[in-house]
Structure 1
């Protein structure tokens, strides 16, 4: 990271003022507002749902998770309840000034009621870049997420040393960014969203291309997660589909690699690529890897498969792994035409699995193909290798 971040982290690391609204007596989920950063000189408040599971014993402390929605989303109480059911305190905030009462059946685009204490709404892809930095949406969104963490830490019964974050789509972008800012976090799990948004190959890149070069560079340095990822010391799970419509594997793979290359001894981070995974809240929530990864970090439960070595040589791809659970299958996914990652046709071929020596290997079907290998354990959890092409990573050959 070059230069100083625009946020006052010392202030954001303090618990914000809380304004309770209501509590669901049946589920224990609270609706509330908490104080945000000022917008155009006036105070703001952020709506959120939060909850703490009932403790097993009076002195028990539970882990916690911050839940960051994406575009057309909001604070989903159902998301909070899911994590509470799994033993976590949770908070889900709305980042665009909405109050989503009665959200249980709605995860797709709809008009949410707004409130009068809000900060800015998101304007396309950083389309508000001509506004003062402190009035831009990304400044407020990241601040709201960090303040939500500070609020969670202030709740009795929450283990301050076991708080993580996950976000979907735009929430994944914010999660990737905050992972390099908030040193108090224990883990981060971006789903779909990532860094390198300025690179061609997605509609994010098109937005950067429409800016004057000097402005595009300023926006990149301010808001792209690649500016901050090098600072992250966290275990991170990176989860995406093979043909995501918003975040192509080029930039997703590159974000994962940046995180690993800056901290080569971090053996807790994982990449999980799901062939055919759609881009939606419901499909993201159905991925058990997210819950399993969190449990492995803060509850000492079984971890996802660790990729120890991935070697491409003489037409063979050899992967060495470590796993506390039995590994049941290994599959190579490869495609010849990667000019458009959204429509790339991935073929699947079973690899030879040597569970005695914790090794999977396969002869690559042909030269000139991009490929990755998925390993699946008895729980069905997927760990992926990096996306590669010959002896280079996929992003070394970005074609539009």
Structure 2
């Protein structure tokens, strides 16, 4: 009896001792936002959002550098588990080498094409005041056994397109989006990341993926796809569909293309592209922007913008856009309406900063591919009441207004199509 009483007393004090830790653990789990699945009205969604919104297991490969190296548990591939390599940093780590108890908005960065994880991109966002993570989405730098290892460009193209023959989950578009959502879940578990202030941005193929991720992970409060857009069967990469059967192409478009997911995005989104981009045609890009409500739609069609990662992360407008949402800073200008009369084009706009320059860019070139299309421009006049210009004498097939403010920040109207 004495031993039983002693055992009961011991168990009582043991429970009393560990209860605060259990309670704290539960509170931490509850503090991480969850995806609202009810807002994503898709039957047969290929991503398991219940699984992806859980914090993945992770280890630090490097926990002392100003940009940390992380391995976290990735989505299964061909029935086996994988690890994902990532770079992570925040302003405290950049400045002092360790967390100092401050909190920051977070950003998930999605690279494009064959590009692996880029430390520089993370550093840039940490200097902007963000906790930033980017991953080796294509596993181009991974050691054997950590994920699907792609040896050459043919294999990388195959996993984007031909792999649909094995089902949608074999396609890189599935895996990249899954990794991005897991990366989001990971940084949301970090105490320094502000739970309701996270954004996603991606470049090229990463912009394509951003259009998917912002639609299926509504924990994001802002997005900025650069170049990449939906309607993959209308851009230059449609040539890779030639290896697919009609059924496989239809399945790819139904399960992978962002047009199926972007309409469920709940967040303000800044769409950036060049008018002569060689990968993502301006027409499907314009259709993509219109998949979300006008109030959440912000556009920057950039005259003669180059296409690579530095050109894609260089626009200061992305950070200004995110800062206006998360830090209550001055927002970008926005072209809010267009009106056409007999020979005039008039634009309404909102801007907290004085606009200094405006030009209307237009084309009548319907023969050349997007990258080779000839564009012309005419100046537009800025006034307090709006912006206007005389329509081109020769008319135009499509055009857009591009404006800059006194801070040299640029935005555009949406594409105007005759």
Q: 2:69 & 2:49 partners in 1: Cα distance?
A: 26
Matched, 1:386 2:414: yes
CA separation of 1:296 and 1:365: change in aligned 2, threshold 3 A: farther
SS of alignment partner, residue 83 of structure 1: helix
TM-score, normalized by length of structure 2? Answer: 0.84
8 Å CA contact 2:358–2:381 kept in 1: the answer is yes
Q: Which residue of the partner structure matches residue 346 of structure 1?
A: 375
Residue of structure 2 aligned with 1:331, choices 359, 369, 374? 359
Question: Please, which runs of 5 or more residues in structure 2 have no aligned partner?
Answer: 1-40, 151-155
Matched-pair contact (CA < 8 Å) for 2:114–2:138: no
| Alpha-carbon shift at residue 316 of structure 1 (Å) | 1.8
Q: Which of 56, 67, 73 lines up with 1:16 in the alignment?
A: 56
- Once the 2 structures are TM-superposed, how far is the Cα of residue 58 of structure 1 from its aligned partner? 5.7
**Do the aligned residues in 2 keep the contact of 1:273 with 1:382 (CA within 8 Å)?**
no
How far is the alpha carbon of 1:141 from its aligned partner? 1.1
Larger radius of gyration: 2
| 1:1-400 alignment runs, 5 A limit | 2-25=42-65, 28-54=66-92, 60-99=102-141, 114-119=143-148, 121=150, 122-124=156-158, 125-199=160-234, 202-259=235-292, 263-264=293-294, 266=295, 268-339=296-367, 340-354=369-383, 356-390=384-418
Secondary structure of the structure 2 residue equivalent to 1:146: helix
- C-alpha contact (below 8 Å) 2:114/2:140 kept by paired residues: no
Q: How many residues align?
A: 367
Q: Structure 2 CA distance, aligned partners of 1:216 and 1:336?
A: 32
Task: Tell me the secondary structure at the aligned position of residue 337 of structure 1.
Answer: coil
Deviation at residue 11 of structure 1 after TM alignment: 0.8
Please report how far the alpha carbon of residue 82 of structure 1 lies from its aligned counterpart in structure 2 after TM superposition.
0.5
RMSD: 1.9
SS in structure 2 of the partner of residue 321 of structure 1: strand
Distance 1:198 1:375 in 2: 31
User: After superposition, what is the alpha-carbon deviation per residue over 1:302-328, rounded to whole angstroms, capped at 9, x for unaligned?
Assistant: 111111111223232111001011111
The question of whether the paired residues in 2 share the 8 Å contact of 1:352 and 1:362 is answered with no
Unaligned runs of 5+ in 1: 100-112, 391-400
| CA distance in structure 1 between the aligned counterparts of 2:238 and 2:341, rounded to whole angstroms | 34
Query: Does the CA-based 8 Å contact 1:31-1:50 persist in structure 2?
Result: yes
Q: Distance in 2 between matches of 1:178 and 1:19?
A: 24
Q: Distance in 1 between matches of 2:78 and 2:325?
A: 40
Deviates more, 1:203-212 or 1:43-52: 203-212
